[in-house]
Amino acid sequence: MNLKRVYEKPEMEDGMRILVDRLWPRGLTKERARIDLWLKGIAPSTELRKWFGHDPAKWEQFKELYHRELEANAEQVSILKDQLKGGTVTLLYAAKDVEHNEALVLKEWLSR
């Protein structure tokens, strides 16, 4: 499983490209994004996303709260796990912060 900003150039090595953001990335066309699956339902809730606001000071608490949301979101998690069985998957996110974003938390949670 790979992580990549959705604004980066799509590559063959990406395999299945899955957008894990609740909102469509600003200024990006569907053609340019080349997204195979948009799992907006696996993204953090709107309330959690707005509260976090990509503030590194809230990172640890954000991870804990997002883990709880994932544990209660069996349907979306199941869809993603099914995709992971099919080969290479790249989780796409729009955040500028490559060290504090939901795709990192999701990957970490799935890997445990």
Show me where the domains of the chain are located.
Answer: 2-111
Question: HSE (CB half, 13 Å, CA atoms) of 90?
Answer: 20
HSE-CB of 48 using CA atoms within 13 angstroms? 20
According to the model, what pLDDT value does residue 112 have? 85
Task: Per residue of the chain (112 residues), give pLDDT as tens.
Answer: 999 999 999 999 999 999 999 999 999 999 999 999 999 999 999 999 999 999 999 999 999 999 999 999 999 999 999 999 989 999 999 999 999 999 999 999 999 8
N residues, the chain: 112
Task: Determine the pLDDT at residue 93.
Answer: 97
CA atoms within 13 A on the CB side of 47: 2
- The pLDDT of residue 28: 94
pLDDT value at residue 91: 97
pLDDT mean across residues, the chain: 95
Q: Does residue 7 contact residue 34 with C-beta atoms inside 8 Å? A: no
* 92 backbone dihedrals φ, ψ, rounded to 5°: -105, 140
Q: In the prediction, which pLDDT does 65 show?
A: 97
Residue 86 sits at φ, ψ, to 5 deg, of -90, 0
